[in-house]
Amino acid sequence: MKILDILDEESIITELKSKSKKEAIEEMAVVAAKNDDSVNIETLVEVLIEREKLGSTGIGDGVAIPHGKLSSIENVMAVFARSEEGIDFDSMDGKNAHLFFLLIAPEDSAGSHLKALARVSRLMNDPKFRLSLMEAKSREEVYRTFADEDAKY
Amino acid sequence: MQIIIIGAGEVGYSIAEILSRENKDVVVIDADAARLKRVSDGLDIKTVCGSGSNPKVLSMAGLNQADMLIAVTDSDEVNMIACLIAGSQANIPVKIARIRNPEYAENTTILDKKHLNIDLAISPERAAADVILNILAVPHASSVAEFFEGKVKLFSLKVNSGCPVIGKLLKDLPFLHPGSNVLIPAICREGKIIIPRGNDLILEGDEVYTITASENVSRVISFFGFDADKGRRVMIAGGGRIGHYLAKKLEKQGISVKIVERCEAKCEEIAEDLKKTVVLNGDVSEQDLLTEENISNMDYFIAVTNDDEVNILSSILAKQMGAKTVITLVNKATYIPLTSQVGIDVALSPRLSTVSGILQYARRGKILSLTSIHEEDAEAIEVIALETSDIVNKPLKDIKEPKGAIIGAIEREGRVIIPKGEDVVLPGDRVLIFTLRASIKDVEKSLMVKMEFF
């Protein structure tokens, strides 16, 4: 699975305005809804917050992969966001999260959501890749960083 | 987790105390600077002075970042407005309000998702009354909680001299044999809660906690040497909201109730609503009145006036005059430890039952209910076991369970299992976990789902 199959350039937030976990989730949900009419912001936020309550998706090393299912959408979609300062995401290692990869899957997706999750987790596990995402100067550059990785895949 | 608490009274203070102890970021708002000072001096947490229903004050308290709003001022209306602002201005995920007037909760849709969208409406008085009703359902118990819609009970019995279980090893107790569906998750000894093992002895003075299916309750009580008959005669001191509600519920169960209330107008009001209850106008701390009303024949004397001192004094008097069990409502937390020394069997604080309800929302996991045990020394948590969490799909004895926690009951497809080491929790099961306060963090961790839980 290629990252760019699920991530548009418009779905990249180079610098989050949010300072808290709740706001960050909302800010990303707004972008998701802007790029897809079938996404209802309130429902999405509720789903994501409910998921976080069962266990944080902050996997450590400054990375969080919030995710959830929506019955209204057709395909797996993503929003990527960065925060220079970092946000307390209740991560397992107790450190702030700087890189956020939001994944939304249709309710009936047969395994494609897990493939996407596995692919994103593996990718974000690579320290060099994380560094290049953090250092990318613009939205285009972030997008290209993902494109380069896709080319290798 | 960032939490805003509005109202720094007894309830607000204890919620702030418990949540800050759990390392949550707590901000307390109150219009009364003196009350706030008590909070900032006592608890070292951030405070904002002002009205909780003022949007500007709420913003100053960090409304936009908050994950939870708890409005527990004395005014239902202020609490509701605060929740309304929190929902419309900041979309706060969890909103909890203290709503005392039952009319709001029962007769309107104002609290539901479409309107105020309040997740939990708490009435400390109603909660205390429900705790009293639970206690009356298990004779001789000093605390009782129900789980799985009443299918399972957790209750504690005091081991007095002459009790047949004294000096016995836990594993030798006949009612604990395998298949008996009875489990002892904890013993309170000299004020401290311990989780016992099979080789522990039961001593005089212990308070023994038991988890069992509800139909087994009277059998367990008899094994402890108590008479399992439920009380038939109850006297209630105080005809306020709690007393009135209690009398109404009890007379429906066929229990004979006498209620003593000082205010004549109130007497008339409740007498009109109650069918079989005898309503008496008088002072409950008068010996003559108690003698006349046959206090020595009462199975229970329940003091629920709005005055702590009256409740405590009349309870002492009733106990001395022969009431079998006295239950006393005490608002001031500092009075609670005194009550057992003066012979009061059960002291309840409305604050405690409220705190339980709120903590349920502050914890991680799919939590259905939470009950604080023995002040807040331990907790009984009812949860749904989720796929990928640490507690599912392996025998209980193989779970590296946090020390100080025990799985007390499992419900699967309506059937209750009081588990043994070989039993396995399956995803989707409802599980009752008993945990000491020190182990709560570890229990939360064991209930958390893994990353791949989508």
CATH of the domain at B211: 3.30.70.1450
Would you say A84 and A121 are in contact if contact means Cβ atoms under 8 Å apart?
Answer: no
In a shared domain, residues B31 and B102? yes
User: pLDDT-based confidence at B418, cuts 50/70/90?
Assistant: very high
Q: Degrees (nearest 5) of the Cα angle B326, B191, B157?
A: 45
In a shared domain, residues B19 and B111? yes
Would you say B261 and B241 are in contact if contact means Cβ atoms under 8 Å apart?
Answer: no
* C-alpha distances out from residue B186 to A25, A98, B35, B324, B405, Å: 41, 44, 37, 26, 10
pLDDT at A82: 97
Residue A59 tokens read as: 């996997």
User: pLDDT-based confidence at B401, cuts 50/70/90?
Assistant: low
Q: How does strand B325-329 pair with strand B378-384?
A: unpaired
**DSSP-derived 3-state class of residue A130:** helix
- Chain B residue with minimum CA distance to A106: B454
For residues B389-414, give the mean pLDDT.
91
pLDDT at B314: 97
Question: Does the pLDDT value for residue B451 go beyond 90?
Answer: no
Instruction: Give the DSSP H/E element, type plus range, for residue B308.
Output: helix B308-320
* C-alpha distances out from residue B242 to B74, B234, B248, B259, B325, Å: 16, 14, 10, 11, 18
Question: Does the pLDDT value for residue B175 go beyond 80?
Answer: no
Hey, are the CB atoms on A54 and B364 less than 8 Å from each other? yes
Residues 6+ apart with CB under 8 A from B400: B390
Distance CA B256, CA B230 (A): 12
Of A3, A58, A7, A1, residue with least CA distance to A36: A7
Instruction: Assess if residue A126 is contained within a domain.
Output: yes
Instruction: Assess if residue A73 is contained within a domain.
Output: yes
For residues B174-180, give the mean pLDDT.
71
Distance CA A142, CA A129 (A): 11
Question: Within 10 A of B256 (CB to CB), how many other CB atoms are there?
Answer: 17
Question: Does the pLDDT value for residue B402 go beyond 70?
Answer: yes
Average pLDDT, chain B: 92
Question: Does the pLDDT value for residue B374 go beyond 90?
Answer: no
Q: How does strand B256-261 pair with strand B233-237?
A: parallel
Residue B361 tokens read as: 């929302």
Instruction: Assess if residue B27 is contained within a domain.
Output: yes
The enclosing domain of A136 has a CATH number of 3.40.930.10
Residues of chain A where predicted confidence (pLDDT) is lower than 70: none
Among B299, B324, B352, identify where a domain stops. B352
Q: How does strand A12-13 pair with strand A77-87?
A: parallel
Instruction: Assess if residue A3 is contained within a domain.
Output: no
In a shared domain, residues B315 and B385? no
Hey, are the CB atoms on B67 and A22 less than 8 Å from each other? yes
In a shared domain, residues B206 and B279? no
User: pLDDT-based confidence at B317, cuts 50/70/90?
Assistant: very high
In a shared domain, residues B151 and B240? no
Per DSSP, the residues of A2-48 read -GGGT--GGGEESS----SHHHHHHHHHHHHHHH-TT--HHHHHHHH
Hey, are the CB atoms on B91 and A113 less than 8 Å from each other? no
How many separate domains does chain A show? 1
Residues of the domain holding A84: 9-152
Instruction: Assess if residue A1 is contained within a domain.
Output: no
A window 52-91, beta carbon within 8 A of B:
53-57, 59, 65, 67-69, 90
Among B163, B194, B223, identify where a domain stops. B223
Distance CA B280, CA B263 (A): 10
User: pLDDT-based confidence at B178, cuts 50/70/90?
Assistant: low
Q: Comparing B46-55, B142-151, B331-340, B439-448, which segment has the lowest mean pLDDT?
A: B331-340
How many separate domains does chain B show? 4
In a shared domain, residues B87 and B187? no
Residues of the domain holding B68: 2-122
In a shared domain, residues B116 and B217? no
Instruction: Assess if residue B15 is contained within a domain.
Output: yes
User: pLDDT-based confidence at B301, cuts 50/70/90?
Assistant: very high
Among B352, B385, B409, identify where a domain stops. B352
For residues B286-315, give the mean pLDDT.
95
pLDDT at B118: 92
In a shared domain, residues B366 and B449? yes
Instruction: Assess if residue A93 is contained within a domain.
Output: yes
The enclosing domain of B36 has a CATH number of 3.40.50.720
pLDDT at B108: 75
Instruction: Assess if residue B228 is contained within a domain.
Output: no
* C-alpha distances out from residue B175 to B171, B194, B217, B218, B348, Å: 9, 20, 11, 12, 29
Instruction: Assess if residue B297 is contained within a domain.
Output: yes
In a shared domain, residues B323 and B373? no
> How do residues B191-250 score in pLDDT, each as one tens digit?
899 999 889 999 999 999 999 999 999 999 998 989 888 888 999 999 999 999 999 999
pLDDT at B198: 85
Q: In this complex, is the C-beta atom of A122 within 8 Å of any C-beta atom belonging to chain B?
A: no
In a shared domain, residues B36 and B101? yes
Question: Does the pLDDT value for residue B31 go beyond 80?
Answer: yes
- Chain B residue with minimum CA distance to A116: B452
Q: Name residue, tokens 């108690």.
A: B290
User: pLDDT-based confidence at B332, cuts 50/70/90?
Assistant: confident
Question: Does the pLDDT value for residue B106 go beyond 80?
Answer: no
In a shared domain, residues B333 and B248? yes
In a shared domain, residues B65 and B145? no
User: Which entry of A13, A65, A67, A102 is annotated as an active-site residue?
Assistant: A67
**DSSP-derived 3-state class of residue B144:** strand
- This prediction's pTM: 0.88
pLDDT at B443: 93
